Structure 1
Amino acid sequence: MTITDEVPDLVELLDQDEIWVNANGERLRLDDMEPRYCGNVRALLMRNAGSYLDHLMWSMTRGPGPSGDMACDAFDRAFDELLEASNDPETWMREQPLLVALARRIRGEAARPAETPETETLMETEIEMAARIDGPRQYDRLVGFAQWVVDLDDIDGPGAEERRTVTLTKIIEKAREALDGNN
C-alpha cells in the first residue's frame, strides 16, 4: 500500500508497514523508530484492539454502501471477516501489517523483511520465460517494468515523489506499456 502525504485513517495505517503517525500528526518511518518506542506503539494498539475493531465495523456501516454485485460481495466478505474477528480482536490486531512490522522492529529487525532470493529468482524466471516467447525487446521492456515495480518500495530513492501517488491503475498502465511496447 502506498501512503500519500495525507494523514492516513485507521484502516490505511493498520494495512501498511512503513509509518506510524504519532499524537502530534507527525509521520514517523518505522525503521527510524527505536525498538522501545515501537513496543509502546504496539502495546497501545493491542490495548485498544477491541475499540479499533468496533470503530472499523461502525465506519463500514456509515456512509454510502457499495454498488454493483462484485463490490457488494467484497464488502460483505470484508465485513464478515471483521465480525468474525470481533470474537478475538487481539489476534486480529496482531495479524495487521503494521503490528507485524512493529514486532520486527521490537526485535531490532527492519520493519519490512528484505527481498528473498526466491522472490527475485521467481521474478527473473517469469521475465526469462517471456523473453523466450516474445523475444529480446519484450524482455527488456519487462525488465524495466519489474525494476519500476521493485522501486515502488524505495520511499527515499529517485522518483519517490512520483511513486508516492502510484495507484493500481498506474501499475496496470505501466504493465500494459511494457507488454505493448509503448514506453
Structure 2
Amino acid sequence: MLAAEQEFDGCFTIVNGRRQPVDRWADLLFQSAYWQDDQRTIWHLDELDPVYCSRIYGFIVRQEDEVGTQLAWDATRGPDPSGDVAWDAATRSVDALLELVSERGWISRTELMQALSRRMRGRPAVEGECFCGYPVAEGWVHSSCYAGMEMA
C-alpha cells in the first residue's frame, strides 16, 4: 500500500488531491474561499447562493463570544517556542489575537465573514476575482461568468 500524498492548503490538509475536513468550523475564520457544513462537506463560497451565505453569516455572528474565548484559550495554552526570535514572534501573534477577540464585533472583520458579506450581495467571495476564478482586470470580459460556475 502506498503512503497517502499529503499537502497543506491554508487551513485544510490535502490528501491525494482532496481537501480533508477541519475539526472546528472556527478554523476557517481566517480564510476567504471555503465553508464546511455540519455534514463536513467542504464548499467553495462561490458555489453557495446568497441566502445560504446569509444563514452562515448569522450562525457565525451568534457564536462570536464562544469562538473568541476558544481562540484565546487555544492561543495561550500552546507549546512554548524555543529561541528569543521565535518567542518574540509568538508573543506578538498571541497578543494580536487576544486584542482582536476582545473587541465587540471582531468576528465580522475576519476574512471568512468579509467573503460571506460579499457573497450575500451576489459578488464573488474573493475581492478582485471573478466567479470564474480569474482576476478582474481591465480589458477582460467576464459577462458570461456566474456564481457557482465551474472554477478554473
Q: What are the Cα deviations for residues 94-145 of structure 1, in whole angstroms up to 9, with x where unaligned?
A: 1111111000000000001223548xxxxxxxxxxxxxxxxxxxxxxxxxxx
5+ residue gaps in structure 1?
A: 119-154, 158-183
Quote the Cα distance in structure 1 between the aligned partners of 2:117 and 2:77: 32
**C-alpha RMSD of the superposition:** 2.3
**Which structure has the bigger radius of gyration?**
1
1:161 aligned partner: none
Quote the Cα distance in structure 1 between the aligned partners of 2:25 and 2:82: 23
1:45 aligned partner: 60
Determine which of 77, 100, 105 is the counterpart of 1:85.
100
Q: What are the Cα deviations for residues 134-169 of structure 1, in whole angstroms up to 9, with x where unaligned?
A: xxxxxxxxxxxxxxxxxxxxx955xxxxxxxxxxxx
Cα distance, 1:51 vs structure 2: 1.1
1:66 aligns with 2:81: yes
Quote the Cα distance in structure 2 between the aligned partners of 1:87 and 1:63: 19
Which has a greater percent of strand? 2
Cα distance, 1:77 vs structure 2: 1.3
Quote the Cα distance in structure 1 between the aligned partners of 2:52 and 2:44: 12
What SS is found at the alignment partner of 1:28? strand
- Percent of aligned pairs with the same amino acid: 32
Quote the Cα distance in structure 1 between the aligned partners of 2:80 and 2:25: 19
On the 8 A contact 2:26/2:67 being kept in 1, the answer is no
State TM-score, norm by structure 1: 0.58
What SS is found at the alignment partner of 2:102? coil
On the 8 A contact 1:53/1:82 being kept in 2, the answer is no
Residue-pair matches, total: 120
What SS is found at the alignment partner of 1:23? coil
